[in-house]
Structure 1
Amino acid sequence: MKRQFRKMHGLGNDFVIFDARDVPLEMDVATARALGDRRTGIGFDQLIVMEPSDTADLRMRIWNSDGSEVEACGNATRCVALIAGGHSRIETMAGILEGQAGDGEAEIDMGVPRFGWDEIPLAYPLDTATLPIGWEGLRDPAAVNVGNPHVIFFVDDAGSVELERLGPIIENDPLFPDRINVNIASLEDGAIRLRVWERGAGLTRACGTGACATAVAAIRRKLVADRVEVRLPGGALTISWTPGATIRMRGGATHVFTGEVDL
């Protein structure tokens, strides 16, 4: 069975996107993992399937390159919003997100962040504003759920951390029963410099939910203003949030090519 797909990226965080709104597509762990192999498949950080929705304009399902299905992906949501065009409501496992697309970028309302230890979730109660834990030199992180779970470490130099080594250790720590996305952030001229180890995908050039979670954690700690630029290896996102409100994320989304694959 041959299916057409779009290859897109948000600041280098790359996706294979199938539009199954008219013709259904069954996706499973093995198929997602095979397609995600950059040598023998197509290659991606996440695979996206767009489906019909009874509660929104469309439904978006998300698989990591290791085949695991996840709740949310900010960069992918911008890409899907660009495909949908104009204003769209997108159903995800994390809830309904609203997007406004135009001129190669999109702004997404990412919903309200969650801070309860059982909402992250953690294995046992801890103060998520400053977790009294650490891994080697990384200590006292914040934890935020923005549709998927994130832990955020603020350091002097985000580039100096061995994230490729420490990322999988923290991701799979028993403290995080659903595993965790690991963010390493430092302050830079009023902005945030950020590197992310994505749960199920590894080091990535950009992570939209990671940028949202990190901005929220920095605003809670009064390290930055309520509208901040987050600089990732692949480019910058603008994140806005005030306590009690929803998070707004703005940034680019790029179509690379359209292809066809035999499933």
Structure 2
Amino acid sequence: MIIPFRKMHGLGNDFVVLDARRAPLPITPGRAAAIADRHTGIGCDQFIVMEPGTEGADVFMRIYNPDGSEAGACGNATRCVAELAMADSGSGAAAVRTISGLLPSERLPDGTIRVDMGEARLGWGEVPLAQEADTLHLPLSADGVSDPAACSMGNPHATFFVPDLAALDLPRIGPELEHAAIFPQRANIGFVQVLAPDHLRLAVWERGAGLTLACGSGACATLVNAARRGLSARAATVSLPGGDLRIEWRDDGHVLMAGPTATAFTGMIDLDAYPA
């Protein structure tokens, strides 16, 4: 089966996007992982399938990590899919649904896409953690980092606050923390340096993907956890290796994320060339 695909990214966090809204596609976790492989597939941080919208959504977005596991949220991919849905409808707004919930999105006057990522979930069972714990101060450490805060943005995040981001060996400590026993579903691990109350610098070891140039849900979790700690305001610029996102944690608990999207290229793919 030969079908079109689109390669998109948000600040370098890149996606292979397939459109299954008109007809189902034979996508399995194994096939998604094979296509996501950067050596033998197209390569991407997350593999995205657009499916028919449900329960008031314009589109359902299914998210696969490069290891084939399914993710509940991806902020940068949400902006990309919302951009495609808006282009199809001619509207300036779109509602994207994932397995974690509905994400209303809109195009701002500067052309960036803003997504309502929903409420930050702060309870230990909502993250989730393996046992009851204070999500503002987790008993977790690795070489050079300790005392993270945790929350869920539809997927689990832990945020370590550090004085010097550049001094950390993230490829070494990231996998250890992602698979820590306190996270029964593993976790996305953020490392943040507070530059000012309205400016945070962030790097994220993503669950199932490793280091990426940007992580939208991670930027949201970082702002929430920094504000909870009294280290930032409730609105800030979050600078990632791929660029900046603007994050706001509203008083009603919802987190807004705004940033750019881009299409790198389009092409055709033979799904039968990849193992099912």
Contact 2:196–2:232 (8 Å) recurs in 1 = no
| Stretch moving more, 119-128 or 239-248 | 239-248
The corresponding residue for 1:97 is 103
Q: How far apart, CA to CA, are the structure 1 residues paired with 2:169 and 2:253?
A: 34
For the pair 1:201 / 2:190, whether they are aligned, the reply is no
Unaligned runs of 5+ in 2: 87-91, 272-276
What is the percentage of aligned positions where both structures have the same residue?
52
Flag the 1:136–1:67 CA change in 2: closer, same or farther, 3 A.
Answer: same
> Match of 1:81?
82
Deviations 1:94-150 (Å, cap 9, x if unpaired)?
Answer: 100000125642000000000111111111100001113322321110001001000
Q: CA deviation at 1:54?
A: 2.5
Instruction: State whether residues 103 and 118 of structure 2, in contact with CA within 8 Å, keep that contact through their aligned partners in structure 1.
Output: yes
> Partners in 1 of 2:15 and 2:111 — Cα distance?
16
CA distance in 2, matches of 1:189, 1:213: 17
User: Which structure 1 residue ranges, 4+ long, deviate > 4 Å from structure 2?
Assistant: none
Give SS of 1:184's match: strand
Instruction: For residue 244 of structure 1, report the CA deviation from its aligned partner.
Output: 3.5
**Number of matched pairs:** 263
1:141 pairs with 2:148: yes
What is the RMSD computed on CA atoms of the aligned residues?
Answer: 1.1
Whichever residue aligns with residue 84 of structure 1, its letter is A
Q: Per the alignment, in what secondary structure is the counterpart of residue 108 of structure 1? A: strand
What is the match of residue 111 of structure 1?
A: 118
Of 177, 188, 192 in structure 2, the residue corresponding to residue 185 of structure 1 is 192
- CA offsets per residue over residues 127-181 of structure 1, 9 Å max, x none? 0011133223211100010010000000001121111110100111111100000
Distance 1:110 1:212 in 2: 8
Which deviates more, 143-152 or 84-93?
A: 84-93
| TM-score after normalising by structure 2 | 0.93
Shift of 1:225: 1.2
Residue 247 in 1 paired to residue 255 in 2?
Answer: yes
**What CA deviation, in whole Å up to 9, does each residue of 1:31-73 have, x standing for no partner?**
0111011111100000100000231111000001111111010
Distance 1:43 1:16 in 2: 7
* Contact 1:113–1:246 (8 Å) recurs in 2: yes
